[in-house]
Chain A
Amino acid sequence: MVFLGSLTAAFAVIANHSLRSWDNQLTGRLTIQIPPLENGADSARLDQALETIRGVPGVATADVIEPATVSALLEPWIGTLPADADLPMPHLIDVAVNDPHDFKSTDLAEALATVVPGASVDDHRIFLVGLIKLAGTVRALAIITVVIIGMSAVAAVVFATRSGLAIHAPTIELLHLMGAPDAYIASLFQRHALLLGLRGSLLGALVAAVALASIARLATEIDTALLPDLAVRPLDVLIILAVPVTAVLLVMATARLTVLRSLVRMA
């Protein structure tokens, strides 16, 4: 139970991180491509485009990316260009928007379409928004799973502790008849449960840690930029460690309450 609980907690933590990091990447940058014209009357068109873009509500800045930078960006694909090459290069405009969550790139495209036909708007955000939604769903699922596993873990721990105590019923009754106070007997079995719970929890946590470490290793080998950030932070370790600790506390509380309940039934 501790094993499952720890793993699920870990996945929830990871989904949470992915969501946050993708969300941060949603910085709100768009790139606009303006195809070059044959007659070289580009600069007027560029100015017009910039003016239009800056006029769209929500746009913070819009700047032309220098042709030299564009060449540098293209270099890996088409090689170094001769200085006097007269290739028709597309003009790129870098646009920053104020609120990436609110901004609709279609507004920008519409505004541009009438002024500069052929301009295209690259919105990286569309892809990211999809991922963020996915991560949100994964996180919700993870949380639901954690809750469900948590509840069944609680039920399992309570049940196991209680049936474990059932075999000690004669001992409990004997101590009671010998004049041991209820609290004394309860703490005796609470301590007993602590030892048992610690053993089980440590084992479960250890196996979970090994499993998590191997998953993290595999993930770094795959190493795609989009894979969730599996690096586990100190705070996450605490969250994941909370599972076995909670389990032990639960075992102890169950033992105590079960013993006290059985004692109260005695005269």
Chain B
Amino acid sequence: MAVEVLRFDNIGMRYGVGPEILRDVSFGLEQGSFHFLTGSSGAGKTTLLKLMYLSHRPSRGLVHVFGKDISVTPRASLPALRRRIGVVFQDFRLLDHLTAVQNVALPLVVSGLKDDKLDQHVRELLTWVGLADRLDAKPSTLSGGQQQRVAIARAVINRPRLLLADEPTGNVDNEIAVRLMYLFEELNKMGTTVVIATHNDDLISQFRHPVLQLSSGELIQLPPRWQRGR
């Protein structure tokens, strides 16, 4: 059986004393897999991703990341796991006092990898996503779609083992969306496990990856055969 990068067992999640947002969610992601995550607005996609990138802990159930049971992993060991996860946040979370290049280089700095050669790599990546002329711009001076591409570049710069993208094509036109999807597929071919939360049905049908669908807090993993039939 293939190695599982991620495993959720009977996960329940509520914020504080609020209602349960996720109920009995169980699934696994095989290494090198590529999934879409869909569901209507408020279904819990972002919440599910938060559990995956170790921002939150579930209210109940077990989360395994890279084979480690998070509930028994010492806090000091979590940063090393997080450094292998690239995240495109739905709200980008770019740092406004840094330039586009500096924002993208941030994961390298955190990993202690920053050097001039990688700086070149950062510029190439930003160029590839179409931001060649905005390399040294501050995020606040960029359009929503441009900020989103900076956020994507930042998420992939480290070649993470797991890439989680929350609506990564929500603010760009279809041409750029397809280009970004190629970027994710390229990464996926090199071994990165990818999960992309999206509302974009065109994208889902065009790229034909298995779909995890959230419906009122519960997960329905549609069989690949059904998807091909669409």
**Interface residue ranges, A against B (CB under 8 Å):** 170-171, 174-182, 184, 266-267
Contacts and interface: CB of A to CB of B under 8 A. Distances in A.
A267 B93 contact: no
Closest 5 CB pairs of A and B: A179-B83, A179-B82, A179-B79, A180-B110, A181-B79
A60 to B, nearest CB: 73
B54 interface: yes
A181 B57 CA distance: 18
Contacts of B54: 177, 267
Interface in B110-139: 110-111
Nearest to A170: B93
Interface in B68-92: 76, 78-85, 87
A179 B162 CA distance: 13
Given A170-B95, A179-B78, A267-B56, 6 more contacts: A175-B106, A177-B87, A178-B106, A179-B111, A184-B110, A267-B57
Contacts of B55: 177, 266-267
A180 B95 contact: no
B107 interface: yes
A266 B93 CA distance: 17
Contacts of B53: 177
A186 to B, nearest CB: 13
A139 to B, nearest CB: 48
Contact of B107 (A170, A176, A178, A184): A178
Contacts of A171: 95
Given A267-B54, A267-B55, A267-B57, A179 B95 contact: no
Contacts of B79: 179-182
Contacts of A170: 93, 95
A75 B85 CA distance: 97
Nearest to A263: B75
Nearest to A174: B93
A177 B93 CA distance: 11
B192 to A, nearest CB: 16
Nearest to B54: A267
B81 A179 contact: yes
A116 to B, nearest CB: 88
Given A170-B93, A171-B95, A174-B93, A181 B76 contact: yes
B57 A178 contact: no
Contacts of A174: 93, 95, 106
